[in-house]
Amino acid sequence: MQCGPAGGPGSGEVGLARRVRAGEAPAHGEAYRRHAGDVAMVAWHAGGGDPGTAEDAVQEVFLELWRRPERFQPDRGSLGTYLRTMTRARVVDRHRSDTARRRREAVVPGAGGEDVEAAVAAALTAAAVRVAIARLPGSEREAIELAYFGGRSYRQAAAELGQPEGTVKSRIRSGLRQLRVDLRAELGADA
């Protein structure tokens, strides 16, 4: 099924989203043409500017859309937002996995007692931070993850979340205040 004329039933983002969700192959090609650039940019930024990571993420995200189009929920946001969010999550998950693997490979038991102590302290701090972030309300957690772990500016985070910039800033400030309180309680006065 081809895109209809401008304003026709198959045209525009809403029509494309409906056709993608229905699993129509031409719609997947159109989704790629419309959104691959944005998805690549999100992957590139979230991946620290690594072109290989960005290419892999773009391929994985569109393959996932092709394999499981029913996961896209148009009532929860636009197709572009869904793809960018999926991309960011993929890249962040891959980065976390790679970081954890490198840490496991770098730890040599019994070598440099101070390094082991520092590594254990850092791991405990990181675990406490992950737990504290997980406890935040979803809107604050999303804003903080985009701004601090995703490398987005306030404006970029606001655009990706579809919220006013002031709202996103407020959620980040509120979330950081709560993190400070939680981490001080968990780690002591040094947090």
pLDDT at residue 3 greater than cutoff 50: no
> Do 91 and 129 lie in a common domain?
no
The pLDDT score that the predictor gives to residue 191 is 52
Q: Could you report the per-residue pLDDT of 138-183, keeping only the tens digit for each?
A: 888 888 888 888 888 888 888 888 989 899 899 989 988 988 888 8
Range of 163's domain?
A: 112-191
Could you give the number of structural domains in the chain? 2
Q: Give the C-alpha separation, 77 to 163, whole Å.
A: 12
CATH number of the domain bearing residue 34? 1.10.1740.10
Which of 106, 126, 147 represents a domain boundary (last residue)? 106
Contact 138, 171 (CB under 8 A): no
> Do 19 and 74 lie in a common domain?
yes
166 assigned to some structural domain: yes
Mean pLDDT (whole number) for 93-112: 72
The pLDDT score that the predictor gives to residue 4 is 41
> Do 39 and 82 lie in a common domain?
yes
Q: Give the C-alpha separation, 59 to 74, whole Å.
A: 22
Q: Which of 4-18, 33-47, 143-157, 162-176 has the lowest mean pLDDT?
A: 4-18
Q: Give the C-alpha separation, 12 to 20, whole Å.
A: 12
What pTM was estimated for this model as a whole? 0.48
> Do 78 and 147 lie in a common domain?
no
What band does 190 get if pLDDT is binned at 50, 70 and 90? low
5 assigned to some structural domain: no
> Do 83 and 144 lie in a common domain?
no
User: For the range 67-76, what are the long-range contacts, defined as Cβ-Cβ under 8 Å and sequence gap of 24 or more?
Assistant: 69/20, 69/21, 69/22, 69/23, 69/28, 70/21, 72/17, 72/20, 72/21, 74/14, 74/17, 74/18, 74/21
173 assigned to some structural domain: yes
Q: Which helix (H) or strand (E) holds 191?
A: none
